[in-house]
Amino acid sequence: MPKKIVLAYSGGLDTSVILKWLQIKYECPIVTFTADLGQGEELSPVKKKAESLGVTEIFIENLQECFVKDYVYPMFRANTLYEGSYLLGTAIARPLIAKRQIEIAEQVGADAVAHGATGKGSQYKSYLSLERMGIIF
């Protein structure tokens, strides 16, 4: 059983439900991490929502510069297209979010990480790939 979990948290329905489920299932502290990639006002209610669900350690970090410099620009230079027709969009952010989530887990002494992705989306597949590579468990 985990002693502390860092949840990649958007403040939306999926991650809010999984947050509550993790609290009940594992009876341990949940730390939330939200990456600011330029969402703007969408991030305003995230902290208040996490607090209302009993979270005391909340990380909301501006990763915009790193995202553009290390992920978006290389994607453009490589002409990366999903299914040959459109840019990857939010999927390109997943490795950065997971990387920072792991760093926060180490910083706060967490022994587990979680996400609220459904089993069919690209977010889930990104985390599954990281799990297979031994980066997250």
Q: pTM for the complete prediction?
A: 0.81
Whether 71 is covered by a domain: the verdict is no
Number of Cβ within a 10 Å radius of residue 46: 21
Averaged pLDDT score across all residues of the chain: 86
Q: 10-55, pLDDT tens digit by residue?
A: 999 889 999 999 999 999 999 999 999 998 888 989 999 999 999 9
Question: Can you give the residue range of the structural domain that contains 48?
Answer: 5-64+93-132
Confidence class for position 76, pLDDT limits 50, 70, 90: confident
Whether 78 is covered by a domain: the verdict is no
Q: What's the CATH code of the domain at 100? A: 3.40.50.620
Whether 80 is covered by a domain: the verdict is no
Q: What is the pLDDT of residue 137?
A: 46
Phi, psi for residue 56 in degrees, rounded to 5? -110, -20
Count: domains in the chain: 1
Q: What is the pLDDT of residue 84?
A: 77
Whether 19 is covered by a domain: the verdict is yes
